[in-house]
Chain A
């Protein structure tokens, strides 16, 4: 309002000149405030790296490369090797991805291509409920209900595959209810909503003309999905899977409760394991000195891995988005 009165009758009508020379102070202050809030994201990300690196330097310097990547973790003797935990994180999240991806992509296709639009929304709500159940509740259910229930099943599978070359080393004994596989299963359920919703967004961008073209050529729905939808959304779905992988690696409490808490590198999926996030939350409260530095260092390691996975994921999504613009 004030700008109008300031300009006065001297400004000719239709002039492109700004009406007021200086923007009011409040306006500039608000712009600055918004900029600061935006920059906060970058500040936090930088501070995460700086502060955790600073607090864990003593681990990195005393342990050295060989110490960090050793499999020995023994706080009593000040030996802090991260290898068993890295292995645990990778195996558990791979299991989660292998189980979750077919289900998530199927549900995404169901929502976009099969179900009529007004049914799709309720299904989305239901799948999203999985994400609303807190991690700690999955962990509680996992440790009290699921682990005792599944333990005899693992044991009978183990005795069933006994002596068969590859299967024996994957699914053979030793077995325990709280294991790599249990953690992977629970993670799979937890990351299904995110993979589903991201894949659905990608699949929804497939041009209607491509789909109708496939149908016009006499394709069945499945052939249409394989021929028109899949080539189009491949890249984006890979991005969605990677975002899910990042989530699985960072998920903490459920895994801390059901993975079995045993720092071991073993090919046996039914044996207890120990992912990075789990060891941090379980041991941090009683850690100090070098021990604490090692746990913070593990956190930094986890941060770097998940950031790399997320950056790659965004790269895939960007690239597929660009290709989509090219074709449509």
Chain B
């Protein structure tokens, strides 16, 4: 091994200095971890302590969203909650089936061909596309022609979720052992049947938890929504037409406002958003723990 040859090799007990260096390195690693915890704890503490006062049934369901100057207690964030739920929900409805199918192509159909490899590579690259660029993209191909709508927001979020779903599904499909596929082929099943009734069910735990994590990321996504759905004060349950609003965009708007009421509503919305994201993440972990059959 050439890799260790440049070290001074000493078969005696490590000298004090060598031990000290080792100890310093270990301490530095722990300090790095603790230092990373500090902002996390600060943010969570602030959001919970400032947001909890705003949360009430009235806040979560009340409508319309009051003007920034109004104090806490008038109106509510109902329109934003509805917007976040329907926009993220529809984005999940588009991107999860497509993402799973894409991963099925890469792993089951494309095999070792160049196209499958290229698509897998580009899906990886696509996870790096900034969310704001996705917003501009949907603005130019959709909003310019059909106007602002929740649907445009769903499209933007779906574009962001697609590569994440492909990636996580693909990794799960890789883990499904080949003998399962071979056994069902031996029974005379067609490829689509093998995929749908044997391969996908075997990997379902990992696929679901990957999809939930993608939804959690999308629910907090703000930049593309600011560009393609605008913000409104009244509840708009029609996903397909008219401007809409979401918790994340409301936080962004309120954060820039100098009024106390707007700030309080921003903290309340932030707490709601974090609770949604964390719930999705916890469900994902539970699903992984309960239903995963094959792990690395």
A contact set with B: CB distance below 8 Å: 1, 3-4, 19, 23-24, 26-27, 29-31, 33-42, 44-45, 47-48, 51-52, 54-55, 102-104, 106-107, 109-110, 114, 123, 125-141, 143-145, 189, 192, 210, 213-214, 217-223, 225-228, 231-232, 243, 246-247, 249-253, 256-257, 277, 280-281, 284-285, 295-296, 299-300, 302-303, 306-307, 309-311, 313-314
Q: How many chain B residues touch the partner (CB < 8 A)? A: 106
Question: Contact at B252–A35, with CB atoms within 8 Å?
Answer: no
Report how many A-B pairs have Cβ atoms within 8 Å: 307
CB of B56 closer than 8 Å to a CB of A: no
Asked if B105 is at the interface of the complex by the 8 Å CB criterion, the answer is yes
> Which residues of B are found within 8 Å of A132, using beta-carbon distances?
216-217, 220, 274, 277-278, 281
Task: Tell me which of B10, B35, B278 has the highest count of chain A C-beta atoms within 10 A of its own C-beta.
Answer: B35
Query: Does any Cβ of A come within 8 Å of B204's Cβ?
Result: no
Known: A217-B7, A217-B9. A144 touches B129 (CB 8 A): no
Task: Fill in one digit per residue for B1-17: 1 if any A CB lies within 8 Å of its CB, else 0.
Answer: 10110110111101000
CB distance from A204 to the nearest CB of B (A): 10
Q: In the bound complex, how far is the Cα of B37 from the Cα of A253, in angstroms?
A: 22
Question: B285: which A residues are within 8 A, CB to CB?
Answer: 125
* Residues of chain A lying within 8 A (CB to CB) of residue B251: 136-137, 139-140
Given contacts A133-B43, A303-B129, contact A44 B162 (CB under 8 A): yes
Q: Which of A52, A137, A228 contacts B274 (CB 8 A)?
A: A137
Q: Please tell me if the beta carbons of B22 and A257 are within 8 angstroms of each other in the complex.
A: no
Task: For the complex formed, measure the closest distance between the CB of B174 and the CB atoms of chain A, giving whole angstroms.
Answer: 14
Q: A208 to B166, alpha carbons, bound, how many Å?
A: 31
Q: Which residue of B7, B29, B263 has the most chain A CB atoms within 10 A of its CB atom? A: B29
Q: In the complex, what's the smallest C-beta–C-beta distance from B132 to chain A, in angstroms?
A: 4
A52 contacts B140, CB within 8 Å?
Answer: yes
CA distance A253 to B121 in the complex (A): 27
Indicate whether B233 reaches chain A with its CB closer than 8 angstroms. no
Q: What residues of A have a CB within 8 angstroms of the CB of B121 in the complex?
A: 314
6 A-B pairs with least C-beta separation: A134-B220, A250-B130, A37-B101, A106-B32, A38-B105, A30-B192
Chain A residues, Cβ within 8 Å of B192: 26-27, 29-31
Give Cα distance in the complex from A294 to B158, angstroms.
26
Measured between beta carbons, the chain B residues less than 8 angstroms from A104 are 32
CA distance A307 to B122 in the complex (A): 10
Which residue of B25, B119, B277 is within 8 Å of A221 (Cβ)?
B25
B22 CB contact (under 8 Å) in A30, A51, A133, A222? A222
Query: A35 → chain B, closest Cβ, in Å?
Result: 5
Query: Which of A29, A130, A132 has most chain B Cβ within 10 Å?
Result: A132
- Within the complex, the shortest CB–CB distance from B14 to chain A, in Å, comes to 5
Are B270 and A47 neighbours in the complex by a CB distance under 8 Å? no
Q: How far in angstroms is the closest Cβ of chain B from A137?
A: 5
Give the interface segment out of B60-68, B69-77, B108-116, B234-242. B108-116
Known A247-B128, A253-B223; contact A34-B7, beta-carbon cutoff 8 A: no
Given contacts A38-B119, A106-B33, A136-B248, contact A257 B126 (CB under 8 A): no
Among B7, B110, B273, contact of A223 (Cβ-Cβ < 8 Å): B7
User: Which chain B residues lie closer than 8 Å to A189 at the CB level?
Assistant: 36, 39-40
With A280-B136, A299-B133 known to touch, is A227 a contact of B6 (CB < 8 Å)? yes
* B3 touching A227, Cβ below 8 Å: yes
* B window 100-145: CB within 8 A of A: 101-102, 104-106, 108-110, 115-116, 118-119, 121-126, 128-137, 139-141, 144
- The docked-state distance in angstroms from the alpha carbon of A125 to that of B270 is 21
**A145 vs B39: C-alpha distance when bound (angstroms):** 12
